[in-house]
Amino acid sequence: MADVLRANHVAKSYSDKQVLGDINIRLADGELVCILGVSGVGKTTLFNVLSGLIRPDSGSVELADGEPSFRDITGETGHLSYMLQKDMLLPHKTIQDNVALPLILSGVRKAEAREKARSYFGQFGLEGTEEKYPAQLSGGMRQRAALLRTWLCGNKVALLDEPFSALDTLTRTSVQEWYLKVMEEIRLSTLFITHDIDEAILLSDRIYIMKGRPAVISDEIIIETPKPRDRDYMLSEEFLAYKRRIREII
């Protein structure tokens, strides 16, 4: 598969403290790659650099722009879709209007944007929530809506920053399974931040381990098990072998 996103030699310091030191990552088309590291290692800083919210001190971010050429998007926002741990749904908008927000921001007429958003509600398991407000939905449903909004941003690559870590354990497992199923259908190239080893192994095609100060990508682990995987996979020998290996590295 061809790469859609590359980060080359990205480094970033705050005042005199270096947070990121020479980070290289790549993401192939349709791939789901996790960036795994302990809290505070600089994962979110890396995401802010990738999404263009922060400019790196050195290095570049490139996005595939019709093969084989790449376009430098360092420090430019709006090329990647971004999803956070908090669902960030606007409390004053109904679910359909929240989800349609990226379309409305880009200038699509409201009725048209709503209609397009609604056409995905079934696939994302959100039927019946169109006219509801976020406060009326459970945490799991809200993250589904947030993911649909991310998808409707319409970019080739999505960055998910610990999207399921605020959910309780039982909800999280079911949302993860749902997520794998949806991803099989929409095949959105995704970079996924997590500090949860189980989640990383369950969801990823590849895992980057991020550690150190300044943080670097110390290891890359390819999860060979074909997808979709279900929760029984988390009890298999294979899964445990990956888990053991990652725990030794981190």
Query: CB of 174: closest distance to another protein in angstroms?
Result: 22
Asked whether position 102 contacts another protein by CB under 8 A, the answer is yes
**In this structure, which amino acid lies at residue 219?**
D
Side-chain-side CA neighbours of residue 237 (13 Å): 0
Q: Applying CB under 8 A, which of residues 101, 117, 197, 209 lies at the interface with another protein? A: 101
In this structure, what DSSP letter does residue 223 have? Answer: -
Residues in the interface with another protein (CB under 8 A) total 25
Angstrom distance (rounded) from CA 72 to CA 231: 39
Query: CB of 88: closest distance to another protein in angstroms?
Result: 5
Q: Applying CB under 8 A, which of residues 1, 38, 53, 241 lies at the interface with another protein? A: 53
**Contact status, residue 145 vs residue 134, Cβ threshold 8 Å:** yes
In this structure, the chain runs to a length of 250
Side-chain-side CA neighbours of residue 176 (13 Å): 28
Q: Of 106-165, which residues contact another protein (CB under 8 A)? A: 106, 133, 135-136, 153
Asked whether position 10 contacts another protein by CB under 8 A, the answer is no
Strands 216-222 and 81-83: unpaired
Asked whether position 166 contacts another protein by CB under 8 A, the answer is no
List residues near another protein by CB under 8 A. 48, 51-53, 77-78, 80-82, 84, 86, 88, 90-93, 101-102, 104-106, 133, 135-136, 153
